[in-house]
Structures are given as structure tokens and as C-alpha cells.
Amino acid sequence: GMTDQEIITGVLKKNGVPLEEINAKMSQCMKVMVRSFKKMVSRSHARALPGVRKLLKKLKQKNVMVGLVTGNLDSGREDRY
């Protein structure tokens, strides 16, 4: 997959935004995206799928390390996953 920045860059380039402008404003764009995502998540009623909590508890009891590798922003990762 692609990172958030790669997706945004691709969409903007495809719509005629010069790469120099994209690069100059990417940091600001990422801040707005994270803020918007956090607002959306705070209003969400998302729940873990059936059995997930039980599985994670069993894995923890057996000292199994669980991780997630992603190319997305650190500041958005905690809320997302």
C-alpha cells in the first residue's frame, strides 16, 4: 500500500497541483488531516469485532508480541488502531 502522503500527493498531482506546492504545504495538510481524523473518531461508535478482545487477552497471557507496521503518520496511528 501507499502512505497517506503518497496518496495525497498522487491525487493532487493528478488534479494539476504542482509538486513544489504540494511539498510546501504537506506538513500543514497532514496536521489538518490528523485533526479531522481525531474529531471523526471521537464521534464514532466503532467496536472491536467479536472475539478480538478475548484473543488479545490470550495472546498477552502467552507473552505473544503483537505489532502493526504502517507507513502512516505517528499522530494518527494511535487513534486509528
Q: Which phi and psi angles does 65 have, rounded to 5°?
A: -80, 135
Give the angle subtended at the CA of 75 by the CAs of 33 and 12, to the nearest 5°.
30
- Whether the pTM exceeds 0.75: the reply is no
Does residue 38 have a pLDDT over 90?
A: no
Mean pLDDT for all residues in the chain: 86
pLDDT at residue number 8: 94
pLDDT on residue 81: 43
For 63-79, what is each residue's pLDDT tens digit? Answer: 999 887 776 666 555 55
pLDDT at 48 over 90: no
Q: What mean pLDDT is predicted for residues 17-44?
A: 91
